[in-house]
Chains A and B, each alone.
Chain A
Amino acid sequence: MALITDYLVQGCQMLLVLLLAPLLTGWVRTIKAQLLRRRGPSPLQPYRDLLKLLRKEALLADSASWLFRVAPYLIFAALWVAAALVPTFASGLLFSWTADLIAIVALLGSARFFLALAGLDVGTSFGGIGSSREMMIASLAEPAMLMIVFTLSLLAGTTELSAIAQFMLTAEVGLRVSLALALLALIMVAIAENARIPVDNPATHLELTMVHEAMVLEYSGRHLALIELAASLKLLLYLSLLGCIFIPWGMATAGESWTAYLIGVAAYLGKLALGGFLLALFETSIAKMRVFRVDQFLGAALMLGLLGALLLFVSRSR
């Protein structure tokens, strides 16, 4: 019986992230529109967009190969699995030990690898520009992310995300310089990874500064729907990550009562709403930077992460 419940809760988490992801994207868009004094679409608009895209036929370029058609499913699968492995409303779920934080970062890397390849597949200049810039950004964002992982796992003594979240709930954490550095670096990485302003502009088209949108320019129909959904899942993943590490309060632990789970879900929704609001606020208050300033932005994130890890290495007494 307990095992069935465990499977159920794990399944709920998988479905929850999938269903919430478009809502989060819509929420950020609505807030952004209202901050700009526009009425903006309803937060439910991404669902309608996805349904519309799914029902349309897929238009493929003549030079597109099988990889171009398989890539959206691979990207979606990798991001869905990664997002479902980050603790959302409860920690220590049935399969939480499948992949630790390093593996989750690497799963994001897998998705990016295939997205960049898909950008090169049709053989257009826009696809190439997107892929090459995406890989440049990733070559700095990924090491920065791993440095953050180092900091967290040195503090918590584990790379398991559930265990880190549980550790963060205990009193022995306290206020630490390393944690502050890691938080700052993680926010910077999250902005870059999700193609948000100031690194990339999610709302732009036909502009030479775009990165993510340039890669997916040739996609249409169900393929585009999957890629959009995957992008929403990635945003959700990073907000869940920030939530479960830095504001873990309210999260249930596996095997608790249903009320605890419900409180966990409510807390999780609150965290997402707060995170989305702050993201929209940040995006409206800053201008996009040009591409070759991104390396300085992310280089700073890498240095912050390294500094955080180094402080812990040095302060560890034996």
Chain B
Amino acid sequence: MSLPLLLGLPVILLAVGIHAVTTSRRSHRSHWIYGATLIVCVIALGLALASLLMDPTPATLTLPLGLPWLGAHFRLDALAAFFLVVVNLGGAVASLFALGYGQHESAPGRVLPFFPAFLAGMNLVLLADDAFTFLFAWEFMSLSSWALVMAHHQEPANSRAGYLYLVMACFGTLALLLAFGLLAGSDGAYDFAAIRAGQATPGLAALALVLALIGAGSKAGLVPLHVWLPLAHPAAPSHVSALMSGVMTKVAVYGFVRIVFDLLGEPVAWWWGGLVLALGGVTAVLGVLYALMQHDLKRLLAYHTVENIGIIFIGLGLALAFQANQMYTSAALALTAALFHILNHSLFKSLLFLGAGAVLTATGERDMERLGGLIHPMPWTALAFLLGAAAISALPPLNGFVSEWLTFQAILLSPELPQWLLKFLAPAVGALLALSAALAAACFVKAFGITFLGRPRSPAAAQAQETDRYSLWALFILAGLCLLAGILPGLVVDSLAPVVGLLNGSARLVTQHDQPWLTLVPVADVKSSYNGLLVLLFMAFSGAVAAFLIHRLASSAVRRGPAWDCGFPEASPTTQYTAGSFAQPIRRVFGSVVFQARERVMMPPPGDLRPARFEVKLRDPIWEHGYAPIANAVVAASSRFNYLQYLTIRHYLSLVFGALVILLLGMALWR
């Protein structure tokens, strides 16, 4: 029932986008557009939630669109419904935020038409049930988000980001196209029902897995395919950054899950899980290390997306490894952890990007070295950003901790795996996950501490003002959801159960909501349990008792004075720690290996009045060893073959003829 309605909503979004083309020159119309997307997203969210919680049986629909012999197939099952919830929740909150934020847009004509189109594209990807519709919607999503990245195209960094994004998006879609081609076979059975029914040979299935990993991984930001992400996500307007980082990467994960867990069916070989697991672990640690080295607030957040995608893929890899060994209850735990983290990351990453947007509006700055002290003029934004930062750093009792805790519990089940390589890999990945969690906390102490705490480092930061009401509502809705998902994790796990059942041969975790005190008990009572609600209550109780007793019985007097600073307070705000100096110990410990970080101090000779200079050099190993050689080879080849551009018509005709002959020969030999 809800499938036709859910299909109608993207059409409405597209109509809103087309309408925006005609009206967006008048800037006050942005209210109208964002209001419309907000309403559509809320309706879609309601429909998807109802479908996930009440009636997760799949519904299908075929429309006479697209390829004439295929038609456009659509399907709404539990997996699609869960991701629809994620997408439309993010879309609704981003629209709400944009009601205020969009007023400051300098080029509304470049944002308003594409924003609804981007939302429509993401919704359609999730509903598609044949390869053609899927890829069409995927490309639609990529291109509309590319247009949004290019909204402020005058800045040279943005046009470079847009170019790189376009190249990587095309590459990713090519990989997906090949994956679907392999799965559909020579008969061209492109609808998903036929692919599901057909049995791919192990070799073909493995190839399709690798292609899906490349295609979806490049969109999600899996190392080493992540290079475009930290450039493109921050370039877009902040509410779009929130959607790209918090939501579009999840659509990419959906693509991977749909192909590998649903279409391919049971994993054939155990190394599938090992491959995904290893990639996830490396992605998590490298992502957070890159993030620590940044001092651009939005780019730091974008690199953190890479880290979280790694955590999600660790869960998915474990699930594949367990499934390959027929350990379905363990696989259910790993899958639940991954899905839970997908939801969590969409919540807190959207929150943090929107908070960065509020800072950008208030100060015009993204560079943390020029911010500081924003907690004084912007206390509410600071509180919401703090909650998001604590949640992404996996601190109890917030939601980020729950999904990482579930992932750890899944890793603890992996000694039962029979393969030796997995036995070695699982604890190593566990160490990588623990390392990335600890580094993430360091990174967000830096992000929040340098941006919001201390004293303002520039006049812009000193004159900042609190953001508007719409934006604050958006921030606090997300912060509230982070807290709720953290203290009532059992309810979230229960609503994920149909999705897990769909992907895992109907094995799922035990029902959580009838546990005493709403405790989360993933495996069995004796193994492990966690109760976020009680942790929160205990903390609130002990903090409140301490505050009450101290203020009542001891002293509650406060006196303000200058900072002490060991007796040598310095008035200039430049004596504070900066983002660069905060990260220096970690740069020295980890960065000297990974990024070959080199620090150099240039002291002028005595008597010289020039200031001393301090220089840090970082090298990006993946760009230098992965991408630069490819780019150089392409440039070299194209300049080599440049002369082919200036041939006569006879030469071209003979080239065409020669190519034809060679192809026919090849065909003849192949048959």
Say whether A and B bind each other. Answer: yes
CB distance A313 to B543 under 8 Å? no
Q: Is the CB of B438 within 8 A of A160?
A: no
Quick check: A150 and B430 within 8 Å, CB to CB? yes
Assess whether A146 is in contact with B564, with CB atoms less than 8 Å apart. Answer: no
Give the residue of B408, B418, B562 whose beta carbon is less than 8 angstroms from that of A146: B408
Please determine whether A60 and B535 come into contact, CB atoms closer than 8 angstroms. no
Contact present for A206 and B566 (CB under 8 Å): yes
Which of A125, A141, A316 sits near B565, CB closer than 8 Å?
A: A125
Q: Which single residue of chain B is at the shortest CB-CB distance from A136?
A: B585
Assess A139 versus B527: contact at CB under 8 Å? Given A60-B559, A62-B563, A124-B565.
Answer: no
A77–B582 CA distance with the chains assembled, in angstroms:
27
Task: Given the known inter-chain contacts A124-B563, A135-B445, please indicate yes or no for A81 contacting B542, CB distance below 8 A.
Answer: yes
Task: Count A-B pairs with CB separation below 8 Å.
Answer: 290
Within 8 A of A (CB), among B394-432: 394-396, 401, 405, 408-409, 411-412, 414-416, 418, 420, 423-424, 426-428, 430-431
Q: B420 contacts which chain A residues (CB < 8 A)?
A: 314
CB distance from A140 to the nearest CB of B (A): 8
Given known pairs A56-B555, A61-B563, the reply for A99 and B569 (CB within 8 Å) is: no
Cβ-neighbour of B519 out of A97, A120, A123 (below 8 A)? A97
Within the complex, the shortest CB–CB distance from A74 to chain B, in Å, comes to: 6
B507-544 vs A, Cβ < 8 Å mask (1 yes, 0 no): 00000000000010000011111110011001110110
Quick check: A76 and B431 within 8 Å, CB to CB? Answer: no
B449 adjacent to A116 (CB under 8 Å): yes
Q: Does B557 contact A (CB under 8 A)?
A: yes
Cβ of B454 and Cβ of A131 under 8 Å apart?
no
Q: Name A214's closest neighbour in chain B (CB-CB).
A: B566
Nearest B residue to A303, CB-CB:
B431
Q: Select which of A106, A160, A312 is within 8 A of B529 by beta carbon.
A: A160
Known A-B contacts A62-B563, A74-B543, A143-B431; A113 and B412 likewise in contact (beta carbons under 8 Å)? no
A133 at interface by CB-CB < 8 Å: yes
- Can you name the residue of chain B whose Cβ is closest to the Cβ of A61? B563
Query: B135: CB under 8 A from chain A?
Result: no
Bound: A295/B564 CA distance, A: 30
Q: Are A60's CB and B560's CB within 8 A? A: yes
User: B19 contacts the other chain (Cβ, under 8 Å)?
Assistant: no
**In the complex, what distance in Å separates the CA atom of A263 from the CA atom of B423?**
42
Within 634-650 of B, Cβ neighbours of A (below 8 Å) are at: none
Q: Is B32 an interface residue when CB atoms closer than 8 A count as contact?
A: no
Task: Pick from B84-92, B299-307, B370-378 the stretch touching chain A.
Answer: B370-378
* A-side interface residues, number (CB < 8 Å): 88
Closest beta carbon of chain B to A177's beta carbon, Å: 15
A173 beta carbon closer than 8 Å to chain B? no
Cβ of B59 under 8 Å from chain A: no
Bound Cα distance from A103 to B442, whole angstroms: 18
Task: Give the chain A neighbours of B376 by CB distance below 8 A.
Answer: 65
Shortest Cβ distance from A67 into B: residue = B375
Instruction: Decide if B554 touches A55 in the complex (CB within 8 Å).
Output: yes
Across the interface, A123 reaches (CB within 8 A) one of B424, B454, B550, B588, namely B454
Q: How far apart sit A123 and B657, CA to CA, in the bound complex (Å)?
A: 74
Across the interface, do B576 and A128 meet the contact criterion of CB distance under 8 Å? Answer: yes
B570 CB-CB contact with A under 8 Å: yes
In the complex with contacts A66-B379, A123-B454, A128-B581, A138-B438 CB distance below 8 A: yes
A115 to B618, CA, bound (A): 30
> Which residue of chain B is the closest to A123 with respect to CB atoms?
B454
| Interchain CB contact under 8 A, B558 and A217 | no
Set B396, B424, B531, B590: member contacting A310, Cβ < 8 A = B424
Which of the candidate stretches A31-39, A218-226, A240-248, A281-289 sits at the interface with the other chain?
A: A218-226
Cα distance A264–B469 when bound, in Å?
Answer: 56
B453 on the A face (CB < 8 A) = yes
CB–CB B558/A60 < 8 A? yes
In the assembly, what is the distance between CA of A123 and CA of B462, in Å? 14
Instruction: State whether B409 touches A159 (Cβ < 8 A).
Output: yes
Q: Are A73 and B434 in contact (CB under 8 A)?
A: no
Contacts A60-B561, A81-B535, A123-B453: A306 and B428 contacting too (C-beta < 8 A)?
A: yes
- Minimum CB distance partner of B551 in chain A: A222
Task: List 4 A-B pairs, minimum CB-CB distance, nearest first.
Answer: A128-B577, A123-B454, A120-B449, A57-B557
29 A/B residue pairs, CB under 8 Å, sorted by A: A55-B554, A59-B558, A62-B560, A63-B373, A65-B375, A65-B382, A97-B529, A97-B531, A98-B531, A103-B405, A103-B535, A109-B394, A120-B450, A120-B453, A121-B449, A123-B373, A123-B563, A128-B577, A132-B585, A135-B441, A139-B439, A140-B438, A140-B589, A147-B430, A154-B415, A218-B564, A225-B550, A295-B589, A313-B427
In the complex, besides A58-B559, A139-B442, A226-B546, 11 extra interface pairs with C-beta distance below 8 angstroms are: A66-B375, A77-B538, A77-B543, A98-B529, A106-B401, A107-B535, A135-B441, A158-B528, A163-B526, A292-B588, A309-B427
